[in-house]
Amino acid sequence: MLQPPTPELLVEELQAEVDALVEELFEGFVPSLQGDSIRRGGKVIRDPIHGFHHLEPLEVEVIDCPLVQRLRYVHQTALAYLVYPSANHTRFEHSLGVAKIVGDIAQHFRDGTDFRLFDDTVVGEARLAALLHDVGNGIFSHLSESLIEQRWLDRLLA
């Protein structure tokens, strides 16, 4: 009689699947901070909610990374866009907005107080964390999590 897989084996299988996906996404991708003049000076984007947003050169490189670019295809509102077609918001747009807000808050703690809680490094790290906070989301955002969990529970209990 076959024994069900152990949690450790399932974690190893999941890790192998994640590694294969990341390898596939990064195939042929070569980051370069020595790119064109736009990258050397950063980039300015216009956000319809938060206004102008200056991205540092490293942030532009991170955004160009395949793991972040895939967020353009992950819906922020799961399947709501099927009912409300104009509610087409992605995790990519969301991540850019979060980076802007987090950057503004961090700069306030760097500049707007009588004592400096943060330095430029902390502000940059906070912005990068905000840009990357959703890279692990599934295709239908948080809606996918229950499906993924169920898949692994079914395998564990089999």
Residues 93-134: tens digit of each pLDDT = 999 999 999 999 988 888 876 667 788 888 999 999 999 998
User: Looking at residues 30-51, what average pLDDT do you find?
Assistant: 75
Residues 128-141: tens digit of each pLDDT = 999 999 888 776 66
pLDDT of residue 31: 74
Its pTM stands at 0.74
Provide the 10 A C-beta neighbour count for residue 42.
13
pLDDT of residue 21: 84
Asked whether the beta carbons of 80 and 62 are under 8 A apart, the reply is no
In degrees and rounded to multiples of 5, residue 128 shows phi and psi of -65, -40
Q: Which of 69-73, 118-122, 142-146 has the highest mean pLDDT?
A: 69-73
pLDDT of residue 1: 58
pLDDT of residue 124: 92
Q: Which residue matches tokens 């990374």?
A: 65
Per-residue buried b or exposed e for 77-112, using 16+ beta carbons within 10 Å of the residue's own CB: beeeeeeeeeeeebbbbbbbbbbbebbeebeeeeee
Of the pLDDT bands very low, low, confident and very high (cuts 50, 70, 90), residue 33 is: low
For residue 37, pLDDT over 50 is answered with no
- When the pLDDT of each residue in the chain is averaged and rounded to a whole number, the result is 82
- In single-letter form, the type of residue at position 107 comes to Q
pLDDT of residue 96: 95
Percent of the chain with pLDDT over 70: 82
User: Looking at residues 62-76, what average pLDDT do you find?
Assistant: 89
